[in-house]
Amino acid sequence: MPRAGDGGKAPARWLGTGLLGLFLLPVTLSLEVSVGKATNIYAVNGTEILLPCTFSSCFGFEDLHFRWTYNSSDTFKILIEGTVKNEKSDPKVTLKDDDRITLVGSTKEKMNNISVVLRDLEFSDTGKYTCHVKNPKENNLQHHATIFLQVVDRLEEVDNTVTLIILAVVGGVIGLLILILLIKKLVIFILKKTREKKKECLVSSSGNDNTENGLPGSKAEEKPPSKV
Protein backbone atom coordinates (compact mmCIF):
# COMPACT_ATOMS: atom_id res chain seq x y z
CA MET A 1 0.00 0.00 0.00
CA PRO A 2 1.19 3.58 -0.65
CA ARG A 3 2.85 5.11 2.34
CA ALA A 4 2.69 8.65 3.57
CA GLY A 5 5.06 10.85 1.64
CA ASP A 6 4.92 8.76 -1.56
CA GLY A 7 2.68 11.37 -3.16
CA GLY A 8 5.52 13.87 -3.04
CA LYS A 9 8.10 11.41 -4.37
CA ALA A 10 6.12 10.56 -7.53
CA PRO A 11 6.17 14.10 -9.01
CA ALA A 12 9.84 14.38 -8.12
CA ARG A 13 10.52 11.08 -9.92
CA TRP A 14 8.67 12.25 -13.03
CA LEU A 15 10.50 15.56 -12.92
CA GLY A 16 13.82 13.77 -12.72
CA THR A 17 12.92 11.55 -15.68
CA GLY A 18 11.86 14.59 -17.72
CA LEU A 19 15.08 16.44 -16.94
CA LEU A 20 17.09 13.35 -17.93
CA GLY A 21 15.21 13.18 -21.24
CA LEU A 22 15.91 16.84 -21.92
CA PHE A 23 19.55 16.21 -21.14
CA LEU A 24 19.79 13.21 -23.48
CA LEU A 25 17.81 14.82 -26.32
CA PRO A 26 20.65 17.04 -27.56
CA VAL A 27 22.97 14.02 -27.47
CA THR A 28 20.69 11.94 -29.69
CA LEU A 29 20.28 14.83 -32.14
CA SER A 30 23.93 15.93 -32.08
CA LEU A 31 26.92 15.54 -34.39
CA GLU A 32 27.03 12.42 -36.55
CA VAL A 33 29.73 11.27 -39.01
CA SER A 34 29.32 8.60 -41.69
CA VAL A 35 31.56 6.92 -44.26
CA GLY A 36 28.67 5.09 -45.93
CA LYS A 37 27.36 1.56 -45.66
CA ALA A 38 30.48 -0.15 -47.06
CA THR A 39 33.09 0.08 -44.31
CA ASN A 40 35.42 -2.33 -46.13
CA ILE A 41 36.50 -1.37 -49.64
CA TYR A 42 39.00 -2.74 -52.17
CA ALA A 43 41.07 -0.91 -54.78
CA VAL A 44 43.64 -1.95 -57.37
CA ASN A 45 47.27 -0.98 -56.93
CA GLY A 46 48.14 2.12 -59.01
CA THR A 47 44.57 3.40 -59.27
CA GLU A 48 42.67 5.92 -57.14
CA ILE A 49 39.91 5.55 -54.57
CA LEU A 50 37.25 7.81 -53.09
CA LEU A 51 37.11 7.79 -49.30
CA PRO A 52 33.62 9.11 -48.49
CA CYS A 53 32.72 11.09 -45.39
CA THR A 54 29.69 13.19 -44.52
CA PHE A 55 28.55 14.76 -41.27
CA SER A 56 25.32 16.14 -39.88
CA SER A 57 24.27 18.28 -36.93
CA CYS A 58 20.83 19.49 -35.94
CA PHE A 59 22.41 22.51 -34.25
CA GLY A 60 24.45 23.68 -37.23
CA PHE A 61 28.19 24.33 -37.08
CA GLU A 62 30.75 27.12 -36.90
CA ASP A 63 34.53 26.83 -37.34
CA LEU A 64 34.09 23.08 -37.65
CA HIS A 65 37.34 21.14 -37.61
CA PHE A 66 37.95 17.93 -39.57
CA ARG A 67 40.82 15.60 -40.37
CA TRP A 68 41.55 12.28 -42.04
CA THR A 69 43.98 9.89 -40.35
CA TYR A 70 45.66 6.71 -41.52
CA ASN A 71 46.36 3.83 -39.19
CA SER A 72 48.01 0.47 -39.86
CA SER A 73 49.74 -2.07 -37.65
CA ASP A 74 52.90 0.04 -37.45
CA THR A 75 51.97 3.50 -38.76
CA PHE A 76 49.77 6.39 -37.73
CA LYS A 77 49.62 9.75 -39.49
CA ILE A 78 47.34 12.68 -40.23
CA LEU A 79 46.70 12.78 -43.97
CA ILE A 80 44.73 15.98 -44.27
CA GLU A 81 43.26 18.52 -41.90
CA GLY A 82 40.98 21.53 -42.34
CA THR A 83 38.18 23.75 -41.14
CA VAL A 84 34.74 24.87 -42.28
CA LYS A 85 33.77 28.39 -41.20
CA ASN A 86 30.01 27.97 -41.54
CA GLU A 87 27.28 26.33 -43.61
CA LYS A 88 27.76 28.82 -46.47
CA SER A 89 31.46 28.18 -46.99
CA ASP A 90 33.48 25.30 -48.38
CA PRO A 91 36.14 23.41 -46.42
CA LYS A 92 39.57 24.97 -46.18
CA VAL A 93 42.60 22.68 -45.99
CA THR A 94 45.10 23.69 -43.33
CA LEU A 95 47.40 20.66 -43.41
CA LYS A 96 48.17 17.98 -45.99
CA ASP A 97 50.78 15.31 -45.37
CA ASP A 98 50.44 13.47 -48.70
CA ASP A 99 50.26 15.14 -52.12
CA ARG A 100 48.34 12.15 -53.43
CA ILE A 101 45.29 13.04 -51.36
CA THR A 102 42.74 15.66 -52.47
CA LEU A 103 39.67 17.02 -50.72
CA VAL A 104 36.70 16.74 -53.08
CA GLY A 105 33.75 17.35 -50.75
CA SER A 106 31.64 20.45 -50.35
CA THR A 107 29.69 21.76 -47.37
CA LYS A 108 27.56 24.22 -49.32
CA GLU A 109 23.83 23.61 -49.81
CA LYS A 110 23.80 21.30 -46.78
CA MET A 111 25.91 18.65 -48.52
CA ASN A 112 28.26 18.45 -45.50
CA ASN A 113 30.69 16.38 -47.56
CA ILE A 114 34.36 16.16 -46.61
CA SER A 115 35.29 13.16 -48.77
CA VAL A 116 38.82 12.76 -50.14
CA VAL A 117 40.42 11.01 -53.11
CA LEU A 118 43.66 9.06 -52.73
CA ARG A 119 45.57 8.62 -56.01
CA ASP A 120 48.40 6.33 -57.17
CA LEU A 121 47.58 3.67 -54.62
CA GLU A 122 50.30 1.44 -53.22
CA PHE A 123 50.06 -1.82 -51.33
CA SER A 124 51.36 0.01 -48.26
CA ASP A 125 48.20 2.18 -48.33
CA THR A 126 46.23 -0.76 -46.94
CA GLY A 127 44.84 0.13 -43.54
CA LYS A 128 42.21 2.08 -41.59
CA TYR A 129 41.18 5.57 -42.69
CA THR A 130 39.25 7.57 -40.12
CA CYS A 131 37.27 10.76 -40.68
CA HIS A 132 37.24 12.94 -37.54
CA VAL A 133 34.94 15.94 -37.00
CA LYS A 134 34.82 18.41 -34.10
CA ASN A 135 32.08 21.04 -33.79
CA PRO A 136 32.81 24.02 -31.46
CA LYS A 137 29.13 25.02 -31.68
CA GLU A 138 28.31 21.86 -29.73
CA ASN A 139 30.89 22.46 -27.01
CA ASN A 140 33.64 20.90 -29.16
CA LEU A 141 31.69 17.67 -29.51
CA GLN A 142 33.64 15.13 -31.57
CA HIS A 143 32.64 12.18 -33.68
CA HIS A 144 34.40 9.92 -36.17
CA ALA A 145 33.86 7.03 -38.59
CA THR A 146 36.36 4.52 -39.98
CA ILE A 147 36.68 2.78 -43.32
CA PHE A 148 39.12 -0.07 -44.07
CA LEU A 149 40.94 -0.01 -47.42
CA GLN A 150 42.56 -3.11 -48.92
CA VAL A 151 44.88 -2.48 -51.87
CA VAL A 152 45.06 -5.54 -54.13
CA ASP A 153 46.83 -6.57 -57.32
CA ARG A 154 43.52 -7.11 -59.09
CA LEU A 155 39.87 -7.30 -58.20
CA GLU A 156 38.44 -10.79 -58.21
CA GLU A 157 35.56 -11.28 -60.57
CA VAL A 158 32.46 -12.46 -58.82
CA ASP A 159 31.16 -15.75 -60.22
CA ASN A 160 27.45 -15.25 -60.76
CA THR A 161 26.87 -18.68 -62.31
CA VAL A 162 25.10 -20.10 -59.27
CA THR A 163 23.01 -16.94 -58.92
CA LEU A 164 22.02 -17.06 -62.57
CA ILE A 165 21.08 -20.75 -62.29
CA ILE A 166 18.93 -20.05 -59.25
CA LEU A 167 17.23 -17.12 -60.99
CA ALA A 168 16.64 -19.26 -64.09
CA VAL A 169 15.11 -22.08 -62.02
CA VAL A 170 12.90 -19.70 -60.06
CA GLY A 171 11.85 -17.94 -63.25
CA GLY A 172 11.07 -21.28 -64.90
CA VAL A 173 8.97 -22.43 -61.94
CA ILE A 174 7.03 -19.16 -61.92
CA GLY A 175 6.49 -19.38 -65.67
CA LEU A 176 5.28 -22.99 -65.33
CA LEU A 177 2.82 -22.01 -62.61
CA ILE A 178 1.46 -19.19 -64.76
CA LEU A 179 1.10 -21.59 -67.71
CA ILE A 180 -0.75 -24.11 -65.52
CA LEU A 181 -3.15 -21.41 -64.31
CA LEU A 182 -3.82 -20.30 -67.90
CA ILE A 183 -4.47 -23.90 -69.02
CA LYS A 184 -6.78 -24.42 -66.04
CA LYS A 185 -8.78 -21.31 -66.92
CA LEU A 186 -8.96 -22.40 -70.57
CA VAL A 187 -10.20 -25.88 -69.62
CA ILE A 188 -12.82 -24.41 -67.28
CA PHE A 189 -13.97 -22.06 -70.05
CA ILE A 190 -14.24 -24.91 -72.59
CA LEU A 191 -16.16 -27.14 -70.15
CA LYS A 192 -18.55 -24.29 -69.37
CA LYS A 193 -19.24 -23.69 -73.05
CA THR A 194 -19.70 -27.43 -73.63
CA ARG A 195 -22.27 -27.64 -70.81
CA GLU A 196 -24.16 -24.67 -72.21
CA LYS A 197 -24.30 -26.29 -75.68
CA LYS A 198 -25.55 -29.57 -74.23
CA LYS A 199 -28.22 -27.72 -72.31
CA GLU A 200 -29.38 -25.93 -75.47
CA CYS A 201 -29.46 -29.22 -77.36
CA LEU A 202 -31.57 -30.88 -74.66
CA VAL A 203 -34.08 -28.02 -74.67
CA SER A 204 -34.28 -28.07 -78.47
CA SER A 205 -34.66 -31.86 -78.56
CA SER A 206 -37.45 -31.75 -75.98
CA GLY A 207 -39.38 -29.21 -78.09
CA ASN A 208 -39.11 -31.35 -81.21
CA ASP A 209 -40.38 -34.43 -79.36
CA ASN A 210 -43.44 -32.57 -78.14
CA THR A 211 -44.25 -31.43 -81.65
CA GLU A 212 -43.98 -34.90 -83.17
CA ASN A 213 -46.12 -36.53 -80.46
CA GLY A 214 -48.98 -34.04 -80.80
CA LEU A 215 -48.89 -32.86 -77.26
CA PRO A 216 -51.10 -29.92 -76.28
CA GLY A 217 -49.66 -26.67 -77.39
CA SER A 218 -47.84 -28.26 -80.32
CA LYS A 219 -48.43 -27.76 -84.01
CA ALA A 220 -49.56 -31.38 -84.43
CA GLU A 221 -52.70 -30.56 -82.44
CA GLU A 222 -54.02 -28.25 -85.12
CA LYS A 223 -56.82 -29.83 -87.29
CA PRO A 224 -56.98 -29.34 -91.05
CA PRO A 225 -59.93 -27.24 -92.28
CA SER A 226 -63.07 -29.22 -93.20
CA LYS A 227 -64.06 -29.53 -96.84
CA VAL A 228 -67.27 -27.89 -97.93
Q: Which pLDDT belongs to residue 106?
A: 84
- Name the pLDDT band for 214 (thresholds 50, 70, 90): low
Tens digit of each residue's pLDDT (9 = 90 or more) over 25-46: 444 458 899 999 989 999 999 9
Report percent pLDDT > 90 for the chain.
40
- In whole angstroms, how far apart are CA 212 and each of 24, 166, 207? 100, 69, 9
Region of poorest pLDDT, from 59-68, 75-84, 140-149, 200-209: 200-209
pLDDT band with cut points at 50, 70 and 90 for residue 18: very low
pLDDT digits (tens, 9 = 90+) for 83-101: 998 888 889 999 998 899 9
Alpha carbon distance 213, 206 (integer Å):
11
pTM: 0.58
Q: What is the rounded CA–CA span in Å between residue 211 and residue 207?
A: 6
Which of the four pLDDT bands, split at 50, 70 and 90, describes residue 7? low
Residue pair 101/118 in contact by the 8 Å Cβ criterion: yes
For residues 5 and 159, which has the higher predicted lDDT (pLDDT)? 159
Tell whether the model's pLDDT for residue 135 goes beyond 60.
Answer: yes
